């Protein structure tokens, strides 16, 4: 059996699904690996680096697709590539079925099995495959680093002969994986950190990292069985807005990370809240690609609203593509390892396996 991967659209995505160090693991399973020429040259990784580990370099994406049983990608390929997939092939990646529903229905109707890794269940056995956690960790870290670079004051408290500089105050909206990493990174750099989340279970995690958890009075735990946040009531939103508006008067930097899987990001930071923030403050919106947590966020633009900079990139991990690719490729291998029957030496779709049942696009 053969797995293959082709180049992503580099205008949108710098990450790759396979890095050289993971090729040996595929080979140890008895799988061959086909890659398109110059597959990761933009990351400074040469084809020879892959060939040394046992990968086959083919001249075109079409050759890879025609000669592979499973196609392993970062994102869903374009329509031209999808049209080349054959019956009984397997496509694995971050396929975003909520937003690519029509496209995926067309290819699954051709008896092509598609697996979307962001749908992995939050169970212990799936932790090594959890692409949301591995990528969100890096995103939370990078959002803090970038926002601090735009902030025109020192971050930690500094006591000098000329006087004392106060520590920057950071608010992290959403205490999932990205938010918790943002809290940890900001604390390490000397900031005073506050955080808010609709999941009350996050309070203990925030405080264990040295953050101060903002609790909406009378709030209930708004967490799904899968561990994700769910939509709030109108009453909760009003109370949250009142709490945030008062808090934002003293906040220097906001890191927004709140997302609801498959839906538009909730708008949490309203325009009137931004108006009370101090001149020179920064908002970094990691939810920008899904509409943003800030009312004024625009994808891939830096907005200046009365001296407050609002930043939102479509894909912040394009700034950390090597680290992100290394983690993603390990997640991908662990998923393929679970899908591959070592005794029969074939891919086996076992619907009794929760990992497979939850990730297959139906």
Q: Render each residue's pLDDT in the chain as its tens digit; 362 residues.
A: 999 999 999 999 999 999 999 999 999 999 999 999 999 999 999 999 999 999 999 999 999 999 999 999 999 999 999 999 999 999 999 999 988 999 999 999 999 999 999 999 989 999 999 999 999 999 999 999 999 999 999 999 999 999 999 999 999 999 999 999 999 999 999 999 999 998 888 999 999 999 999 987 655 555 555 555 555 667 777 888 889 999 999 999 999 999 887 788 999 999 999 999 999 999 999 999 999 999 999 999 999 999 999 999 999 999 999 999 999 999 999 999 999 999 999 999 999 999 999 999 98
Q: Is 15 a catalytic residue?
A: no
Q: Is 47 a catalytic residue?
A: no
Active-site position among 130, 197, 252, 285: 130
Nearest alpha-carbon partner for 145 in 316, 308, 309: 316
User: Which structure tokens are listed for 362?
Assistant: 């139906």
What per-residue confidence (pLDDT) applies to 231?
59
pTM score, two decimals?
A: 0.89
What per-residue confidence (pLDDT) applies to 172?
97
Active-site position among 60, 127, 166, 233: 127
Active-site position among 47, 98, 128, 133: 133
Whole-angstrom Cα Rg for the chain: 22
Cα–Cα distance measured from residue 355 to residue 338, given in angstroms and rounded to the nearest whole number: 9
Distance of alpha carbon 81 from the chain centroid: 24
CA distances from 21 to 25, 43, 45, 59 (A): 8, 14, 11, 22
Residue 57 pairs with which residues in a beta bridge?
35
Side-chain half-sphere CA neighbours of 360 within 13 A? 17
Residues in the chain: 362
What per-residue confidence (pLDDT) applies to 232?
63
- Which 8-state DSSP code applies to residue 289? G
- Tokens 């009312």 -> residue: 295
C-beta separation of 335 from 116 below 8 A: no
User: Which structure tokens are listed for 217?
Assistant: 């009075």
C-beta separation of 31 from 338 below 8 A: no
User: Which structure tokens are listed for 125?
Assistant: 């056995």
Cβ burial of 161 (10 Å; 0-12, 13-18, 19+) is exposed
CA distances from 251 to 124, 202, 283, 336 (A): 37, 21, 10, 45
- In our burial notation (b when 16+ CB lie closer than 10 A, e otherwise), range 191-225 reads bbbbbbbbbeebbebbeebebebbebeebeebbee
Q: Is 133 a catalytic residue?
A: yes
Nearest alpha-carbon partner for 213 in 202, 224, 221: 202
Q: Is 281 a catalytic residue?
A: no
Q: Is 228 a catalytic residue?
A: yes
Domains of the chain, earliest start first:
2-119+321-353 (3.40.50.720), 136-318 (3.40.50.720)
């Amino acid at each position: 059996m053969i797995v293959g991967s082709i180049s992503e659209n580099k205008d949108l995505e710098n990450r790759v699904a396979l890095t050289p160090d993971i090729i040996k693991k595929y080979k140890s399973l008895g799988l061959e690996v086909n890659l398109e020429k110059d597959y990761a040259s933009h990351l400074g990784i040469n084809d020879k680096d892959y060939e040394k580990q046992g990968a086959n370099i083919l001249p075109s994406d079409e050759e890879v697709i025609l000669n592979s049983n499973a196609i392993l990608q970062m994102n869903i390929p374009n329509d031209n590539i999808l049209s080349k997939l054959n019956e009984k092939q397997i496509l694995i990646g971050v396929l975003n079925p909520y937003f690519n529903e029509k496209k995926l229905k067309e290819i699954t109707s051709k008896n092509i099995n598609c697996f979307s890794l962001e749908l992995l269940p939050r169970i212990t056995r799936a932790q090594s495959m959890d692409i949301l956690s591995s990528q969100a960790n890096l995103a939370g870290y990078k959002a803090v680093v970038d926002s601090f670079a735009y902030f025109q004051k020192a971050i930690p408290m500094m006591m000098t002969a000329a006087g004392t500089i106060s520590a920057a105050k950071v608010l992290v909206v959403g205490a999932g994986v990205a938010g918790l990493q943002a809290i940890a990174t900001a604390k390490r750099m000397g900031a005073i950190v506050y955080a808010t989340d609709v999941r009350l279970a996050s309070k203990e995690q925030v405080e264990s990292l040295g953050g101060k958890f903002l609790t909406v009075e009378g709030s209930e735990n708004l967490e799904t069985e899968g561990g994700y946040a769910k939509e709030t009531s109108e009453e909760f939103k009003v109370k949250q807005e009142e709490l945030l508006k008062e808090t934002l008067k003293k906040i220097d930097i906001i890191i927004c990370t709140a997302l609801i899987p498959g839906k538009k990001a909730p708008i949490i930071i309203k325009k009137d809240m931004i108006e009370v923030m101090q001149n020179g403050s920064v908002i970094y919106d990691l939810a920008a690609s899904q509409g943003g947590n800030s009312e004024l966020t625009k994808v891939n633009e830096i907005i200046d609203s009365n001296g407050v900079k609002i930043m939102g990139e479509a894909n912040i991990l394009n700034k950390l593509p090597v680290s992100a690719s290394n983690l993603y490729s390990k997640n991908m291998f662990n998923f393929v390892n679970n899908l591959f029957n070592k005794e029969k030496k074939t891919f086996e779709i076992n619907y009794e396996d929760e990992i497979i049942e939850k990730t297959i696009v139906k």
